[in-house]
Structure 1
């Protein structure tokens, strides 16, 4: 079974309080994402990033870009996280 891709969508511009404007990850989170290689760990990490995006707001473009990456790999992305 193919693994879930990284939440990075290839923008990599750190502005919003040291968060990437493409995926919301910090540089430290990007480094950690490379360590989450197993299925459950990767899915949990992507869900964490999605929750972060929901709280921060302004990352609606990410959903479509990430869904496209997942489709290329033949995997289902995690369910979207709703802001509280």
Structure 2
């Protein structure tokens, strides 16, 4: 089974005012977190990044669109969605 894909859903825009402006409007990751997600090679590392993003989104709000887009991406890549995404629904 392939590892979980990056939490990035391909939107990559940083346009919100204030502290939220450091976070992508598509996935909630910061630019630094996106770099770490690209370096995640082991399945546990990739799932950890997804869990971080899910927790971050719960704190920040306004990311209801992300789960459906990420599940679609997992399906396309043939990867099982991480537990954090399955629980979040």
* TM-fit CA distance, 1:17: 2.5
Question: How far apart in 1 are the matches of 2:60 and 2:66?
Answer: 13
Query: Which one has a larger percent helix, Structure 1 or Structure 2?
Result: 2
Which sections of structure 1, spanning at least 5 residues, go unmatched? Answer: none
Q: RMSD over aligned Cα, in angstroms?
A: 1.4
1:27 equivalent in structure 2:
31
Question: How far apart in 2 are the matches of 1:11 and 1:75?
Answer: 21
* TM-fit CA distance, 1:6: 0.5
2:75 equivalent in structure 1:
71
Q: Scaled by the length of structure 1, what TM-score is found? A: 0.89
Question: How far apart in 1 are the matches of 2:76 and 2:40?
Answer: 20
1:47 maps to which of 22, 45, 51: 51
Question: How far apart in 1 are the matches of 2:41 and 2:54?
Answer: 18
Which sections of structure 2, spanning at least 5 residues, go unmatched? Answer: none
1:36 maps to which of 17, 25, 40: 40
Matches within 5 A, 1:5-20: 5-15=5-15, 16-20=20-24
Q: Scaled by the length of structure 2, what TM-score is found? A: 0.84
1:61 aligns with 2:65: yes
